Homo-oligomer: A and B are copies of this chain.
Amino acid sequence: MIDFQTDPSRYRHWRIEQDGEVAYLIMDVDPAGGLSTDYELKLNSYDLAVDIELNDAVQRLRFEHPEVRCVVIKSGKDNVFCAGANIRMLGKATHGHKVNFCKFTNETRLAIEDATDNSKQIYMAAVNGSCAGGGYELALATDHIMLVDDRRSTVSLPETPLLGVLPGTGGITRVTDKRKVRRDRADFFCSTEEGLRGTKAVDWKLVDEAVPPSKWKDAVDARAKELAKRSDRPASGGIRLNPLKREITDKGATYSHVELEVERERNVATLTVRGPSDSVPASIEGAHKLGDQFWPLTVARELEDAILHLRTNEPAITLVLLRTDGNAKAVLDHDEFLAKANGDWLMREISHYLKRVLKRVDLTPKTFFALVEPGSCFAGTLAELVFAADRSLMLIGTQEGDNRAPAAITLGGANFGPYPMSNGITRLESRFLGEPDQIEAARAKIGQPLEADEAEALGLVTFAYEDFDWDDQLRVMVEERVSHSPDSLTGMEANVRFAGPETMETKIFGRLTAWQNWIFQRPNAVGEQGALKLYGTGKKATFDKERV
């Protein structure tokens, strides 16, 4: 099992050195610290183990260190910044692992950009030595790239010439769309093994500044302090992200407010999210005091871990049934608390974190059916799960022998702004593309429990069924879904889920990733004579020269 939970006391590849409002996030990969002993993580190359720590560090810096206003990513090794993803690992990995690895690393890089943009914890990269492939892609995720201006410090994306694959962790997209490097230069750069250095790298917009070695340390420190000035973070008051209360067994995973049950033989899992057990704190200070036990943060952490676990450790699961359990009003109260306290750095962090977790759901290659039944609490933030789902089924009225109130969906302000999808618009906006009236009709119902007929009329659920129909309809729908080709479902969902506008983010997960996944299936990369397979063996790849 791959575990996405860690903490700094267990890091083998990163360390954080703090200097007031600047933190230095230092990459110093332990060659023997990879997920497998099949490969050595030389030259600061990385595998998923390294990125799990990076993800944890980015997260903790946001929550545990409000006083950090600028994060400088640098290398702990002398002549290399980072050699990128480990090639031996990629060469040996299954297709599924490669795809999952790239998705997670992409999400981590986007989290770095989210921290810069939305937490005002501004990232920069101080690049010494060779910065190649995934190494440069890591630098690209920061807001400012500094490069030592010497003979040996270079940035490069050598994937095409060396490995026959793409710089798939956003590299091409960030070069063309974020840094706006001219397309013919991007073409040259992406097909040149040795990369570029010094002032030419600046001229081509690949880095922001090149600094002579003699001035390097001072220039980096000064730049970090300058970037820190853009920040509005407070000077203290971080909270601790304690280890999750979690039990993972062969049957699933149990958290304090999230429950995952897997039925591998049916290819189905059930993911239940429970509403708050407590009412909202009396004050913002009260919420700070609750720390990671404040429900919105707890549920974000637990849901995220469950989703990552599903993706990585439960490949046989095709379909996830999404359920909620609890009190809708308590969910809405917490949403309102977050919204009202938006000027508070921690509440802002939690809101952006929920946004990122919901995005992980959108990007998960599993089908989601939301089941809206009596006792559920699909309200506000949790109603986003209905809109993130591929389909939603809602029970009309009550179930025999159950005297709870009929199922309802309750909309809140959370459904109209704070949680945009990767495409930059809300789930309701994606749902009602080109139909602003539908969105206004939904907005007019904020706070009102919408039972099945009304929810269906408003277009909020896919199907509503009476009790006598429910079990059969659900059973048939589930059986049908899991009978389809998993690959076709993945491709279909990747297209259907993201209607409307595109962003750099959707381009990375749509266009760039899809092409990379295609290449990851091609003999020219992964065949016995393929470039990725033969890298490092001294043998030269033999290509089928057909252009497709």
Given contacts A172-B496, A507-B502, A521-B522, contact A430 B183 (CB under 8 A): yes
Q: At the interface with chain B, which of A117-125, A173-181, A211-219? A: A173-181
Q: At the interface with chain B, which of A61-69, A289-297, A445-453, A485-493? A: A485-493
Q: Which residues of B contact A499 (CB under 8 A)?
A: 176-177, 180, 183, 186
A464 is an interface residue with CB less than 8 A from chain B = no
Q: Which chain A residues (497-540) contact chain B, with CB distance < 8 Å?
A: 497-502, 506-507, 510-512, 514-519, 521-522, 524-525, 531
CB pair B547 A317 closer than 8 Å: yes
Q: Which residues of B contact A494 (CB under 8 A)?
A: 511, 515
Expressed in whole angstroms, the Cα–Cα distance for A164 and B484 within the complex equals: 7
Expressed in whole angstroms, the Cα–Cα distance for A468 and B480 within the complex equals: 68
CB pair A487 B366 closer than 8 Å: no
A12 is an interface residue with CB less than 8 A from chain B = no
Expressed in whole angstroms, the Cα–Cα distance for A183 and B496 within the complex equals: 6
Q: Which residues of B contact A483 (CB under 8 A)?
A: 161
A185 is an interface residue with CB less than 8 A from chain B = yes
Given contacts A511-B495, A514-B514, A546-B316, contact A487 B183 (CB under 8 A): no
How close is A391's CB to chain B, nearest CB, in angstroms? 5
Q: At the interface with chain B, which of A19-27, A300-308, A330-338, A431-439? A: A431-439
CB pair A432 B547 closer than 8 Å: no
A510 nearest in chain B by CB position: B511
How close is A357's CB to chain B, nearest CB, in angstroms? 19
CB pair A365 B511 closer than 8 Å: no
A17 is an interface residue with CB less than 8 A from chain B = no
A411 is an interface residue with CB less than 8 A from chain B = no
A59 is an interface residue with CB less than 8 A from chain B = no
CB pair B511 A187 closer than 8 Å: no
How close is A516's CB to chain B, nearest CB, in angstroms? 7
A43 is an interface residue with CB less than 8 A from chain B = no
Expressed in whole angstroms, the Cα–Cα distance for A212 and B510 within the complex equals: 41
A548 is an interface residue with CB less than 8 A from chain B = yes
1/0 per residue, CB under 8 A from B, across A50-90: the answer is 00000000000000000000000000000000000000000
CB pair A487 B522 closer than 8 Å: yes
Q: Which chain A residues (157-171) contact chain B, with CB distance < 8 Å?
A: 159-161, 163-166
Expressed in whole angstroms, the Cα–Cα distance for A491 and B480 within the complex equals: 34
Given contacts A507-B502, A548-B95, contact A491 B516 (CB under 8 A): yes
A153 is an interface residue with CB less than 8 A from chain B = no
Given contacts A160-B484, A511-B495, contact A547 B366 (CB under 8 A): yes
State which of B177, B482, B498 has its C-beta within 8 Å of the C-beta of A433: B177
A509 nearest in chain B by CB position: B511
A544 is an interface residue with CB less than 8 A from chain B = yes
Q: Which residues of B contact A434 (CB under 8 A)?
A: 180
CB pair B185 A531 closer than 8 Å: no
Expressed in whole angstroms, the Cα–Cα distance for A486 and B392 within the complex equals: 43
Expressed in whole angstroms, the Cα–Cα distance for A183 and B386 within the complex equals: 12
State which of B163, B482, B485, B496 has its C-beta within 8 Å of the C-beta of A187: B496
CB pair A184 B545 closer than 8 Å: no
A481 is an interface residue with CB less than 8 A from chain B = yes
How close is A548's CB to chain B, nearest CB, in angstroms? 5
How close is A186's CB to chain B, nearest CB, in angstroms? 5
With most chain B CB atoms within 10 A of its CB, the pick from A483, A525, A543 is: A543
CB pair A525 B487 closer than 8 Å: yes
Expressed in whole angstroms, the Cα–Cα distance for A333 and B3 within the complex equals: 67
Q: Which residues of B contact A99 (CB under 8 A)?
A: 548
CB pair A524 B488 closer than 8 Å: yes
State which of B391, B431, B485, B531 has its C-beta within 8 Å of the C-beta of A541: B485
Expressed in whole angstroms, the Cα–Cα distance for A259 and B516 within the complex equals: 34
How close is A275's CB to chain B, nearest CB, in angstroms? 23
A31 is an interface residue with CB less than 8 A from chain B = no
CB pair B485 A176 closer than 8 Å: no
A182 is an interface residue with CB less than 8 A from chain B = yes
How close is A219's CB to chain B, nearest CB, in angstroms? 26
CB pair A164 B487 closer than 8 Å: yes
How close is A525's CB to chain B, nearest CB, in angstroms? 7
Q: Which residues of B contact A234 (CB under 8 A)?
A: none
With most chain B CB atoms within 10 A of its CB, the pick from A160, A365, A494, A518 is: A518
A375 is an interface residue with CB less than 8 A from chain B = no
Q: Which chain A residues (132-173) contact chain B, with CB distance < 8 Å?
A: 159-161, 163-166, 172-173
CB pair A518 B486 closer than 8 Å: no
With most chain B CB atoms within 10 A of its CB, the pick from A183, A480, A490 is: A183
Q: A191-B484, A490-B547 are in contact. List 5 more A-B contacts (CB 8 A).
A: A172-B495, A180-B434, A184-B461, A366-B547, A510-B511
Listed by A's residue number, 30 A-B pairs whose Cβ atoms lie within 8 Å are A99-B548, A160-B492, A165-B491, A172-B495, A173-B495, A176-B500, A180-B434, A180-B499, A182-B431, A182-B459, A183-B496, A184-B389, A184-B392, A184-B462, A187-B496, A267-B545, A365-B548, A486-B544, A486-B545, A486-B548, A487-B518, A488-B519, A488-B525, A488-B531, A502-B506, A510-B511, A514-B514, A514-B518, A517-B548, A521-B522
